[in-house]
């Protein structure tokens, strides 16, 4: 009997990654889409079209799982900071347009499910995940299961307040970890360094392009540029403050760091670990590790939702 196959979709703040995934977690086909600035209807259309492309390659796909960057309650996108999906019956709409069973969860709830079941948090009972990208998503495994809270909205680790008088956050709050320690924040730290040192490599890039992205700062840092390296480290130290809060409140065994910004590796994670181990309560004990599935944990977790339902 051939393995059962489903579709998993990770709908991030700036891009979508979808795949046909079998019950051994092998990915057979992938699709990518960018959608910065798309409105609600366009966003939904892009999702449906991406799934239909995957179904054309895998007509046997039994169900589709979605991870979306929203507060999700009963398949409904209650609110979303990074996509125009406030108060959208996402699950019902997808089921209607696709005609197959549809499962929906928060994107990082899906990601932490994959990392817990088969990845960097395997074998633990208490784990958290930070996904560092455009913003910061979060997911929690408590007592061995994804923890969703009273209304399904739990786990938004990017929206812990780490700077009570800090800059406004796109969520409507102030000084959220997301503003200070996301991939976007690495770009901002690099831009500030470029302005302070206009003759540096960062400064020249800012002059040429008018903007600096986090991924460029990370590349330059990997190549040995000290200024870029310090920009990444400064963001790592702020991530450390978020890790301290998580340790002190939830006492997990491991914090898994995913999302595009984890490309910075230990250059980002070592300063975070240092803050954690010197400022957290009690003996150092929480491991801080990169996501095992890299940028694919959300997509694989979304597929797991569908595989569990189809089992």
**Site of interaction with a second copy (CB under 8 A):** 71, 78-79, 81, 124-126, 138, 140, 142-143, 147-157, 159-165, 171-175, 180, 238, 241-242, 244-245, 248-253, 278-283, 285
Is 262 in contact with 232 (CB distance < 8 Å)?
no
DSSP characters for 180-230? HHSHHHHHHHHHHHHHH-TTSHHHHHHHHHS---HHHHHHHHHTT-HHHHH
Q: Is the dihedral of CA 248, 168, 195, 133 positive or negative?
A: positive
Residue 286 CB, nearest approach to a second copy (Å): 8
Residue 296 CB, nearest approach to a second copy (Å): 25
Residue 238 CB, nearest approach to a second copy (Å): 6
Residue 78 CB, nearest approach to a second copy (Å): 6
Based on CB atoms, which residue is closest to a second copy, 56 or 150?
150
Measure the CA–CA gap between 117 and 4, rounded to whole angstroms.
18
Measure the CA–CA gap between 290 and 129, rounded to whole angstroms.
9
Based on CB atoms, which residue is closest to a second copy, 92 or 163?
163
Non-local CB neighbours of 267 within 8 Å, separated by 6+ positions = 218, 221, 222, 229, 232, 233, 236
Residue 83 CB, nearest approach to a second copy (Å): 14
Helix (H, G, I), strand (E, B) or coil at 67: strand
Based on CB atoms, which residue is closest to a second copy, 89 or 175?
175
Give the other-Cβ count within 10 Å of 235's Cβ.
31
Task: Name the residue among 138, 113, 93 with its Cα closest to residue 239.
Answer: 138
Residue 267 CB, nearest approach to a second copy (Å): 19
Is 169 in contact with 159 (CB distance < 8 Å)?
yes
Please compute, for residue 94, the number of CA atoms within 13 A of its CA located in the half-sphere on the CB side: 30
Based on CB atoms, which residue is closest to a second copy, 253 or 270?
253
Considering only the C-alpha atoms of the chain, give the largest distance between any 2 of them, rounded to a whole number of Å: 63
Based on CB atoms, which residue is closest to a second copy, 8 or 138?
138
Based on CB atoms, which residue is closest to a second copy, 160 or 191?
160
Residue 69 CB, nearest approach to a second copy (Å): 12
CA dihedral 220, 12, 119, 22 (to 10 degrees): -130
Residue 109 CB, nearest approach to a second copy (Å): 12
Based on CB atoms, which residue is closest to a second copy, 160 or 297?
160
Based on CB atoms, which residue is closest to a second copy, 172 or 198?
172
Q: Is the dihedral of CA 137, 21, 119, 144 positive or negative?
A: positive
């Amino acid at each position: 009997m051939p393995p059962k196959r489903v579709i998993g979709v990770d709908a991030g703040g700036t891009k979508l990654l979808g795949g046909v995934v079998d019950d051994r977690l092998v990915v057979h086909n992938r699709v990518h889409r960018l959608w910065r600035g798309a409105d609600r209807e366009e966003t939904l259309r892009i999702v449906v079209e991406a799934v239909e492309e995957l179904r054309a390659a895998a007509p046997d796909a039994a169900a589709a799982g979605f991870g979306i960057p929203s507060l999700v309650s009963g398949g409904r996108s209650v609110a979303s900071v990074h996509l125009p999906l406030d108060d959208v019956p996402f699950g019902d709409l997808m089921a209607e347009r696709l005609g197959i069973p549809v499962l929906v969860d928060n994107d990082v709830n899906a990601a932490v499910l994959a990392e817990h079941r088969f990845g960097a948090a395997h074998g633990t009972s208490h784990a958290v995940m930070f996904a560092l990208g455009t913003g910061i998503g979060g997911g929690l495994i408590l007592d061995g299961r994804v923890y969703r809270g009273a209304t399904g909205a739990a786990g938004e680790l990017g929206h812990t307040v780490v700077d009570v008088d800090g800059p406004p956050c796109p969520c409507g709050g102030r000084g959220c970890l997301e503003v200070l320690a996301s991939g976007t924040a690495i770009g901002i730290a690099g831009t500030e360094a470029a302005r302070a040192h206009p003759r540096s490599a960062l400064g020249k890039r800012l002059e040429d392009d008018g903007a600096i992205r986090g991924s460029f700062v990370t590349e330059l840092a990997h190549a040995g540029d000290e200024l870029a390296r310090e920009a990444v480290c400064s963001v790592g130290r702020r991530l450390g403050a978020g890790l301290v809060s998580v340790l002190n409140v939830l006492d997990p065994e491991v914090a898994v760091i995913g999302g595009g910004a984890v490309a910075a590796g230990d250059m980002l994670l070592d300063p975070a670990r240092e803050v954690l181990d010197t400022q957290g309560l009690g003996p150092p004990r929480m491991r801080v590790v990169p996501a095992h599935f890299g940028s694919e944990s959300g997509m694989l977790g979304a597929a797991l939702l569908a595989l569990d339902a189809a089992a």
